[in-house]
Amino acid sequence: MKKVVKFGGSSLASAKQFKKVGDIIRADKSRRYVVPSAPGKRNKNDTKVTDMLYACYEAASTGASYGKLLSAIKERYEQIIDGLELNLNLDYEFKTIEENFIAKKGSDYAASRGEYLNGIIMSHYLGYEFIDAAEVIFFDENGTFLSEKTNEELSERLAHTERAVIPGFYGSNPDGTIHTFSRGGSDITGSIVARAIHADLYENWTDVSGFLVTDPRIVENPVPIETITYKELRELAYMGASVLHEDAIFPVRREGIPINIRNTNKPEDPGTLIVENTCRKPKYTITGIAGKTGFCSVTIEKAMMNSEIGFGRKVLGVFEDCGISFEHMPSGIDTMTIFVHQSEFEQHEQFVISNIHRAVQPDSIELESDLALIAVVGRGMKSTRGTAGRIFSALAHARINVKMIDQGSSELNIIIGVKNADFEAAVKAIYDIFITAEL
């Protein structure tokens, strides 16, 4: 058995957290490859080391005073080293970092030092080999991640390394300079390492016990999701649910490696398992509910629209010309509705209307703003009759008017449009009918 374990910033924010991580790793011999983030927040008002590094670099590279900021960063690491009673001194590393900041080595370089230094500490603490991600994770000159080159070199390197710490979040450009993934990118590094070693499992340790069925800011204490497929996760993530970086799915998905989201502060919780597929019956009919507010609908009506070949293409062409992407497009016999992000659409509104008139001569165009979209996602819906019926009766009972319904043919996802003002009440009503009622 080979496992890759990635630990998020809050799991490594202090010596106390590091000790929990050490216990987790030592409890299972197959946890052989460790991907740390930079130290995160120790409490609500704290600052992540990554953010401190960006701020410090900004000051140093523009000639402003940066000494205090750099000392505060050093202090964060020294507290961890002291708390773990390690015989390790980072003076040399900090001297190099300071020189490179003044030499303007770039904000990616600056941010990456958070993971780099945490990786050095972690390797000392565990007695594992340290592998600098710059030596094994590659980007091209445009900053595009080179998945195959990385996979080849990383596999080769790790084939000869029994246990290692590989810092998350960054790699190198062809000229040797440092490049980072987008924020939260250590999740991607973990996934890349899992692919390279053909891991049996990619454990992603964070500060929550997995994905929750819905947003805890809307529903109090929602239940966790036990098992979710990559596809379901993608649908929910797209609609705003977040725990894992979206791009972290791709490397492991190619190999069918499951991801287990776990809680460093509650290692006894099983967390959420993300899999390619499963024949395990889901506990509830639906897997998750996610949604977003701030949409606008454009409804175009024209008698006999259905017989006009090319109608849809011409309408969508108008949106394309303005660089507006559309979210959903339910259609009727003589109507077609396009859902767009209100903030993107507003500035182009009149241009869109006049150009649709020119392109397809509609009978009318109607706009409605302040709409929300809710995705009800679940592989269990396919085999269950009456899912849509239950959603709509729950919404009717909650006195919520449904503006739009869109179900993909995969039956994995039902999208419902409601007024922004009804958004939270709608999510609660759907949660209650499926989860509270099925508990």
Residues 6+ apart with CB under 8 A from 10: 17, 40, 41, 206, 207, 264
| Among the residue ranges 128-136, 181-189, 284-292, 356-364, the one whose residues contact ligand ASP (CB under 6 A) | 181-189
Q: Any known ligand binding at 115?
A: yes
Could you tell me whether strands 31-36 and 3-7 are parallel, antiparallel, or unpaired per DSSP bridges?
parallel
- 168 binds ligand ASP, rule: CB under 6 A: yes
Residue least distant from ligand ASP (Cβ): 186
Residue 282 binding ligand ASP, by CB under 6 A: no
Does residue 228 touch ligand ASP according to CB under 6 A?
no
State how far the alpha carbon of 308 is from the alpha carbons of 32, 105, 315, 359, 362, in Å.
Answer: 61, 58, 12, 12, 11
Residues 6 or more apart whose Cβ sits within 8 Å of residue 330: 337, 404, 405, 406
Among 104, 183, 280, 358, binds ligand ASP (CB under 6 A): 183
User: Percentage helix, strand, coil, to 5, in the chain?
Assistant: 40, 20, 35
8 is in an annotated binding site: yes
Q: What is the DSSP-derived secondary structure letter of residue 11?
A: G
Question: Residue 330, interface with ligand ASP (CB under 6 A)?
Answer: no
* Contacts by 141-148, CB closer than 8 A, 24 or more apart: 141/173, 141/174, 141/175, 143/173, 143/179, 145/171, 145/181, 145/188, 147/192, 147/251
Exposure string of 136-165, with b = 16+ CB inside 10 Å and e = fewer, is: bbbbeeeeebeeeebbebbeeebeeeebbb
**Are 287 and 225 a contacting pair, CB within 8 Å?**
yes
Q: How far is the CB of 6 from ligand ASP (least distance, A)?
A: 8
Q: Is 9 annotated as a binding residue?
A: yes
Site track 2-41 with ligand ASP (rule: CB under 6 A), x = hit = -------x---------------------------xx---
| 184 lines the binding site for ligand ASP (CB under 6 A) | yes
For 256, the token pair is 């069918």
**According to CB under 6 A, which one of 114, 251, 282, 291 is a site residue for ligand ASP?**
114
In the window 40-79, what residues touch ligand ASP (CB under 6 A)? 48, 50
Instruction: Give the residue with the Cβ less far from ligand ASP, 37 or 297.
Output: 37
- Asked whether position 169 contacts ligand ASP by CB under 6 A, the answer is yes
Of the pair 49, 219, the CB lying nearest ligand ASP is at 49
Q: Is 207 annotated as a binding residue?
A: yes
Site size with ligand ASP, rule: CB under 6 A: 13
Among 12-20, 179-187, 248-256, 260-268, the segment contacting ligand ASP (CB under 6 A): 179-187
Residues lying near ligand ASP in the complex (CB under 6 A) are found at 9, 37-38, 48, 50, 114, 168-169, 183-187
